[in-house]
Every structure is written in structure tokens, then in C-alpha cells.
Amino acid sequence: MNRTCALILGGLSLAVSIDAFPQAQSKSASASRIEDIYIARSVRESRGWPTEFCAEARTGFPTAGGAEDKFTFQSTATRGSDGLMTSTSVKAIGNYRGCFGPTPDALTWKFYMEGALGSITFKGRGECAYVKQNYPEEGMTPARCFAELHDLSNGYVGGLMTSNAINSYSNLGDVSLPPGYTQTGIFTFRLWKRR
């Protein structure tokens, strides 16, 4: 075999090996995947004073002076080239009920949630904090929340939820006042299984 032929065959062999490796790695990674990540948009459907659902025995904190909210989850769509969210309301995919209890810091609230995301049910406990008031314009209040998730279905042993939210003069529904913002929150769920 001459040198040119050997180089061509060597190059083909290398190309085949390189092409085959990511597929084999992908199949192996998918078979042993222990983490699932979900993104959802929340829409507040109701807000009121805490009911018996928000009792301290369930939430782990007093909710007197707080609130009880009900939300739906919508699936979203993003552009693959840069991650821009192109739709915030593809389809209703779940819901949750949240309890909020005050803390000594007026901008921080204790947070408890129970809900479903598709076929997955969960409970979670954490905190929410207002970031700024009247930002990015009058009437808007951005906030962030997190919750450590427990009592999950579908074989998950735990998880973490974080949200980046914005509230407006319009407390309910998906149309902000002033208009143009995606209320209420964009949620990220990281759910874990045992290895």
C-alpha cells in the first residue's frame, strides 16, 4: 500500500471513529442519566389570605399576614441558535399552590409549594425575595424564588426549583400592567434520581 493510500484510509478510519464516538457517548449518557431539567412559565390564577392548606404543620413556618396563591404552568419554546424564548405559553402542563409567610425582612418571604409538572408531583420549601420595586419601570417588581423539592413522584429522590419572576399592577393572569412583560415567573426544575 502506498503512502497516499495509507493516509486516505487512515483519515477515513479516524473520521469513522470520531463520528461514532459521540453517538456511543450519547447513548451511554442517556442510559445513565440521573438528572432531568424542566423549564416552565407560571401564571398566577388567584391570590388570597392563607387557608388551612397553608397551616404551619404543612409549610414549616407561620403564614399569618402572608398569602396563598394558585398558579398554572405553561410550557415554553426557545430558539436553538441563542436560547431566546420565542413562546411563553405553548401549552398548559401543570399547576401549583403556593404559601408565602413574612420574615423580619419585609422584602423576603418564606415559601412553600405543592404541585404537578406533567406527570411529576412535588412539594417544596424555600424563600422568595423582591429584588427591586418599580423596576424596570413604575409598577413592576422583579423577584426571585427557590425551593428544595421533596416527596417527588416518578422515581425522583430530590430536586431544586429556581424562579425569576416579575409582578405588575395586574396581580392575576398573563397580561402585565404596564404591558409587555412575561408574568409571573420563569421556573427551572432540576430533578434527580439515584445512580
Chain center to CA of 179:
23
Give the per-residue pLDDT at 27: 54
- Given this model, what pLDDT does residue 32 score? 78
| pLDDT tens-digit series, residues 61-92 | 999 999 999 999 999 999 999 999 999 999 99
> pTM to 2 decimals?
0.82
Which pLDDT value is given to residue 29? 54
Give the start-to-end residue ranges of the domains of the chain: 1-32, 34-192
Name the average pLDDT for the chain.
89
C-alpha cell at 134: 418599580
CA distance 109 to 160: 18
pLDDT tens sequence across 19-37: 444 454 455 555 678 999 9
Inform me whether the pLDDT recorded for 108 exceeds 90.
yes
